[in-house]
Amino acid sequence: MDKTISFTLKVWRQRSPKEKGCFKSYQMKDIPTDTSFLEMLDILNEDLINKGEEPIVFDHDCREGICGMCSLYVNGHPHGPATGATTCQLYMRRFKDGDTITVEPWRSAGFPVIRDLMVDRSAFDKIMQAGGYTSINVGGVPDANAIPISKEKADLAMDAASCIGCGACVAACKNGSAMLFVSAKVSQLALLPQGQVEAARRAKSMLHKMDELGFGNCTNTRACEAECPKCVSISNIARLNREFIAAKLKD
């Protein structure tokens, strides 16, 4: 027989951005420990629907830790207690019988709540549109091997590029800063010759957009790095700052 646990779930319910939200408690009985956290919510939602109530709304999609859609603040941590994992990769065996588990949405000025646990992260798209690309057209590019890139640089760029855009860094930051997100994209492209061409412009415009959208500033608390499900390093923020200062000095 599989091991099961029973526990109390406190979930943030909020009808719309403008309405006031509150916690609601649900008693969860005999949940198998090999159930994922989101499957546990599926079970609860099935119960709610069967009672004729509206299910809890939360974002989720791939359920394998890569799409960046899931975004739950579990027991005070973005994506819950596991390190280097998204909410969908969290399994109930990490919790104990009799626990009280608190589930909230991302809380940040930059991410308004849409309903319950679902937030609006379109600000990240807007930051990307401000410069998170190389300004090239399709076709007319050189052969892929024309410009050699050292393995070390390519690996560092890949480390930065592993960001899934979930927003955990913003949710973890006391200032609600999006610096880890911005720096990951700026670093990835600044490390590669293809992105270096417009590195200065990119750093300035992405940071400017981040400020404009109401995200806070970085005060090096490193909470973002600790909570990032992909372990993106804050050394990227240092790199972003270098790019930014260099760009400003040229102005």
Residues 107-126 touching another protein, rule: CB under 8 A, are 114-115, 118, 120-122, 124-125
Q: Is residue 65 close enough to count as binding another protein by CB under 8 A? A: yes
Residues 123-182 that bind another protein (CB under 8 A): 124-125, 128-139, 141-145, 147-151, 154-155, 157-158, 161-162, 164-165
214 touches 124 (CB < 8 A) = no
**CB 233 to another protein: min, Å:** 15
Q: For another protein, which is the closer residue by CB, 180 or 223?
A: 180
Q: What residue ranges in the chain does DSSP mark as E strands?
A: 4-13, 22-32, 73-74, 77-78, 100-104, 113-115, 118-119
217 touches 176 (CB < 8 A) = no
**CB 64 to another protein: min, Å:** 5
Candidates 50, 174, 249, 250; binder of another protein (CB under 8 A) is 50
Looking only at the bridges linking them, the beta strands covering 73-74 and 22-32 are unpaired
**CB 221 to another protein: min, Å:** 26
Residues 202-231 that bind another protein (CB under 8 A): none
Q: For another protein, which is the closer residue by CB, 48 or 247?
A: 48
Q: Is residue 12 close enough to count as binding another protein by CB under 8 A? A: no
**CB 24 to another protein: min, Å:** 16
**How far, in Å, CA of 15 to CA of 6, rounded?**
27
Candidates 19, 24, 25, 61; binder of another protein (CB under 8 A) is 61
**How far, in Å, CA of 89 to CA of 161, rounded?**
20
**CB 50 to another protein: min, Å:** 7
**How far, in Å, CA of 79 to CA of 91, rounded?**
11
Candidates 9, 11, 37, 59; binder of another protein (CB under 8 A) is 59
Q: Is residue 30 close enough to count as binding another protein by CB under 8 A? A: no
For residue 100, what are the contacts with CB-CB under 8 A and spacing of at least 6? 7, 8, 9, 10
Q: For another protein, which is the closer residue by CB, 58 or 223?
A: 58
For residue 23, what are the contacts with CB-CB under 8 A and spacing of at least 6? 10, 11, 12, 13, 102
**CB 141 to another protein: min, Å:** 4
Which token pair is 15? Answer: 């009808």
